[in-house]
Amino acid sequence: MPNLIDLSEDLHKVCYRQKIYMDNVFSQGEDTFLFGPNQENEVGRQIKYLGGSKVLVIYSKLSSSIGNLLDKVRRSLRNTGLDYTELGESYVNPRISTVFDGIKICKTEDVDFILAVGSTSVCSVAKVIAAGAVFEDSFYEMFKNNSDIEKALPLAVISTSICGGCAISREVTVFNRLEDGSLKYFDCSSEVLSPKFVIYNPELCSISSSNYAFNFVRLLDVLFRRYFEVNKNTVLAEKMLEATIKTVLIMFEKIKDKPNDVDCITNLMWASISAYVNPMLNYNDEACIPILEKAMISVYDCNPEEAASIIIPAWFKFVLKKKELQIAKLGSTAFDIPYNFSDVGITASQTVDFIKRRFEALKLPVKLSELNGNAGDIEKILKKVGFPEIKSIGTNEHYTQTDCEVILSLAL
């Protein structure tokens, strides 16, 4: 079975900016992904092949099932003669305090490779550490709009999340605790933050009753974003996303009773990956929804998925008239809602109601009040976004402060 080590330099050049599938190995751009069982056992060989000698392993202390995987990783690193040190992440939302700890370790122990093991939060921390460890200017300069992050320590990821497609992304967000008790989020983006390789093994993932709803909303969150950013002329991309969203609903229904069903997990992981490697899609993470989500997290210190389950229905209501046809089409094709040809608005409204009801059925919050929020918090959230200093958010579509205020009001 082929693996990264067997790929010649010439083949890597051919793979550049193309997607090449080889059983369980495929490449997108300069990144390589290894998908399937036992791939984590090869992590030491892959890192050594890429020139690593001292590895910082970053993992989540919040995961109760990470222990066996870490043992495999340690064994693989030792068997290939690699030295390593470890850092545990203790927060749901990635924190700058952990980043500082990681940067210090990298500099004092001559770390030349970073390995993130676990969830999306761990991956975010690893990426910022990779950049910060070699960033020559002041640390916070990395997060300025005109910052040019030109280099970073090489990093790799072993994803244990069904929603691990974001490991591929070059965008990253981390949070810092302020004196008033709230959080402030910092964003940065650079091609050098893309992992050298990502390992996806469905057998390392399972959906428990506690994270079932969070995985559901997180996956739909990114797929909805891609769907409404698709170029109007790209019919194929639109149809692929409709099919992917429908598949997600089917798989989550099946996995309720079989949380370790590898086939279901495989389909869901591919759904997440496809949201980041499809060349027809717009990978814009500076859209309205994720920005408002990060601002909500900063105010309430809530889970990202809780912010998403509140903002998504509110955003749908806000754009209902403007995107009526597209919302109705989504409802008809992905959610099997009957298409009302005489009044498309009815189908669109039913689609928005369907999404909100699904979130409610999973005990997810759909109102700010469920996070102990109220109308007085809207100003705080808008301030976290950057208003009134900035005039609007979003790149493809621009949302003013008034627009965002209305969206948040719809979430009360």
CA distances from 51 to 112, 132, 194, 395 (A): 9, 20, 17, 38
What would the pLDDT profile of 250-291 be if each residue is shown by its tens digit? 999 999 888 889 999 999 999 999 998 887 776 655 689 999
What would the pLDDT profile of 305-342 be if each residue is shown by its tens digit? 999 999 999 999 999 999 999 999 999 999 999 999 99
What whole-number distance in Å separates Cα of residue 218 and Cα of residue 297?
14
Lowest mean pLDDT among 234-238, 293-297, 370-374: 234-238
State yes or no: pLDDT of 20 exceeds 80: no
Mean pLDDT over 220-236 rounds to: 87
The pLDDT of residue 244 is 96
The pLDDT of residue 30 is 62
What would the pLDDT profile of 22-55 be if each residue is shown by its tens digit? 356 555 556 688 998 999 999 999 999 999 999 9
Say whether pTM exceeds 0.85. yes
Q: How much is the mean pLDDT over the chain?
A: 89
Enumerate helices (H) and strands (E) in the chain, giving the number of each. Answer: 14, 12
State yes or no: pLDDT of 4 exceeds 60: no
Cβ–Cβ < 8 Å for 147, 10: no
> CA nearest 333: which of 208, 223, 412?
223
The pLDDT of residue 257 is 87
Cβ–Cβ < 8 Å for 133, 107: yes
Model confidence band, residue 16 (pLDDT cutoffs 50, 70, 90):
very low
What would the pLDDT profile of 75-91 be if each residue is shown by its tens digit? 999 999 999 999 998 88
Q: For 283, how many CA atoms within 13 A lie in the half-sphere containing its CB?
A: 18
> CA nearest 383: which of 182, 231, 245, 114?
182
What would the pLDDT profile of 168-217 be if each residue is shown by its tens digit? 888 899 999 998 889 999 999 898 999 999 999 999 987 888 789 999 99
Q: Residue holding tokens 């009001």?
A: 409
Mean pLDDT over 135-149 rounds to: 83
What whole-number distance in Å separates Cα of residue 111 and Cα of residue 103?
9
Question: Which of the two residues, 23 and 409, has the higher pLDDT score?
Answer: 409
List the domains of the chain with CATH numbers. Answer: 4-204 (3.40.50.1970), 212-410 (1.20.1090.10)
The pLDDT of residue 21 is 38
> CA nearest 160: which of 15, 297, 265, 51?
265
